[in-house]
Structure 1
Amino acid sequence: MRYDPIARLLLTPVDQEAPERVVRLRGLGLGERPEPALDAYAGQMAQMTGAPYAMVNFLDEERQFFAGLHTPQGGAEERVKSRDHGYCPYVVVRRKALVLEDVRDFPRFAGNALVDETGIRSYLGAPLIDRTGMALGTVCVADTEPRRWGRAGLDTIKSCAAQLMLQIHRREDGLA
Structure 2
Amino acid sequence: MTFDPSDRLVAPEVDTDAELLRTQRLRAMGIDDRPLPELDEIAARLREMTGASYAMVNFVIDGRQYFAGLSSTSGPQTLSTGTAPGREMELDQGFCPHVVDRGTALPLADVCAYPRFAGNRVVDELGIRTYLGAPLKDPSTGVTLGTVCVIDTEPIPWKKTDVENIKAVAEQVTTLLKRREDGLV
Q: Which category of TM-score, normalised to the shorter sequence, fits these structures?
A: over 0.9
Cα offset, 1:59, TM superposition:
0.4
Cα offset, 1:166, TM superposition:
1.0
Q: Which deviates more from structure 2 when the two are superposed, residues 31-40 or residues 136-145?
A: 31-40
How many percent of aligned residue pairs carry the same amino acid?
Answer: 49
Query: How has the CA–CA distance of structure 1 residues 93 and 57 changed in structure 2, closer, same or farther, with 3 Å as cutoff?
Result: same
Q: Please list the CA deviations of residues 20-78 of structure 1 after superposition, one character each: whole Å capped at 9, or x if unmatched.
A: 21121111111421111111111010011111100000002421000001122230431
Tell me what 2:181 maps to: 172
Tell me what 1:80 maps to: 88
Match of 2:144 among 124, 135, 146: 135
* Whole-angstrom distance in 2 between the partners of 1:76 and 1:165: 23
Q: Which amino acid aligns with 2:46?
A: M
Tell me what 1:53 maps to: 54
Tell me what 1:12 maps to: 11
Match of 1:150 among 152, 156, 159: 159
SS at match of 2:69: strand
Tell me what 1:117 maps to: 125
Contact 2:55/2:150, CA 8 A, preserved across alignment: yes
Contact 2:30/2:180, CA 8 A, preserved across alignment: no
Contact 2:70/2:78, CA 8 A, preserved across alignment: no
Q: Please list the CA deviations of residues 71-105 of structure 1 after superposition, one character each: whole Å capped at 9, or x if unmatched.
A: 22230431011001100000000000000000001
Runs of 4+ in 1 over 6 A off after TM superposition: none
Q: Which amino acid aligns with 2:172?
A: Q
Q: Please list the CA deviations of residues 110-140 of structure 1 after superposition, one character each: whole Å capped at 9, or x if unmatched.
A: 0000001111100000000011101000000
Q: Which amino acid aligns with 1:95?
A: G
Contact 2:133/2:149, CA 8 A, preserved across alignment: yes
Contact 1:31/1:66, CA 8 A, preserved across alignment: no
Tell me what 2:66 maps to: 65
Q: Which runs of 5+ in 1 are unaligned?
A: none
Contact 2:44/2:71, CA 8 A, preserved across alignment: yes
Query: How has the CA–CA distance of structure 1 residues 130 and 145 changed in structure 2, closer, same or farther, with 3 Å as cutoff?
Result: same
Query: How has the CA–CA distance of structure 1 residues 76 and 12 changed in structure 2, closer, same or farther, with 3 Å as cutoff?
Result: closer
Q: Which amino acid aligns with 2:96?
A: C
Q: Which runs of 5+ in 2 are unaligned?
A: 80-85
Q: Which amino acid aligns with 1:37?
A: E
SS at match of 1:162: helix
Q: Which amino acid aligns with 1:7?
A: S
